[in-house]
Amino acid sequence: MAAGYRLIEACLAAGGSEAFTAAVLDLVEWMGADQIMVFDLAREPATCLLSRNFNRLRLGGLLAARYLDGWYREDPLLPELAGVAEGEIRLRRMQDFAGAMSEAYRAELFDRPGLAGKTALLAAGRRRRLVINFYHARTPETEDADMLRLVARLLLRHFDGSEEAPYPPPLAALSERERAVCLGILGGEKAEAIAGRLGVSPATVVTYRKRAYEKLGISARGELFAICRRG
C-alpha cells in the first residue's frame, strides 16, 4: 500500500498542472483497472478529458471516439448525472445500470470490445459534470470503492479547478513536441508544414505522431479528431 500512497501524493502535487495526467494514470494502472475513460457531460456535445486502455492501447481511443459519436446520449447514467449535487461523488457498479442499457449500446461499448463490465463514478463540480468509467476485461474479485472515490475526487478537483488549456484535454498526456504535432494535424497541416514550423525533419514528425497516437490509444487521424472534439 506504500506505493499507492506515493502515487496519491504525486497526484495531489501535480493537480492543476500538465503532470497530473501521467500521475493519475500511474495510480489507476496500479489499482488494476484495464481502462479508464473520463468525459465531461456538462454541456453538448460531450467532451473527452482522459482515455487510456492499459493492456490494449488502441482500444481506449476507439471506445472514446465511439462514445463521443453520439453514444453518450444513450448512457443509462446520463439522467442521474443531471441530479448530482456540486461536490458529490456517486459510485455505480455494472449491475446497478445494466438493465437500463439498450442492446445496441451494450454491443457497441461492451460486447464487441470484449469488456466484462465497468464501475462508473458520477462527479459534479462548479463547471464540470464528469462520468468516470473504470473498465475490466474480467469482473474483478474485489474492488476498493474508497480508492475509486478518491480517484474521482482527484479528477474532479483537477479538471474543475484548472484553467481551460489552449489545447484539447487528452493531449495533456503528451510531450510538448508530440502535442505540437497533434495540434498541427488538428489544424489541417501536412507533415512537411509541421516539420518546417518545428524545425525538424518530416521523418521526425512521423515519429512524434506515432508516439502520440500510441499514448492516446488511437491509430488514425479521424480518431484524433474524435477524442479531441470540444464541447
Domain boundaries, the chain: 2-161, 169-227
Q: What's the pLDDT score for residue 117?
A: 72
Fold of 2-161: Beta-Lactamase (3.30.450)
Q: Is the pLDDT of residue 76 over 60?
A: yes
Alpha carbon distance 36, 161 (integer Å): 20
Pairing of strands 117-124, 89-93: antiparallel
pTM confidence score = 0.82
From edge to edge, which strands make up the β-sheet containing 35-40?
A: 47-53, 35-40, 129-136, 117-124, 89-93
Alpha carbon distance 15, 21 (integer Å): 9
Q: Is the pLDDT of residue 23 over 90?
A: yes
Distances (CA, A) of 41 to 26, 128, 194, 211, 218: 25, 7, 33, 29, 22
Going by pLDDT thresholds of 50, 70 and 90, the confidence category of residue 30 is very high
Percent of the chain clearing pLDDT 90 (strictly above): 49
The CATH code of domain 169-227 reads 1.10.10.10
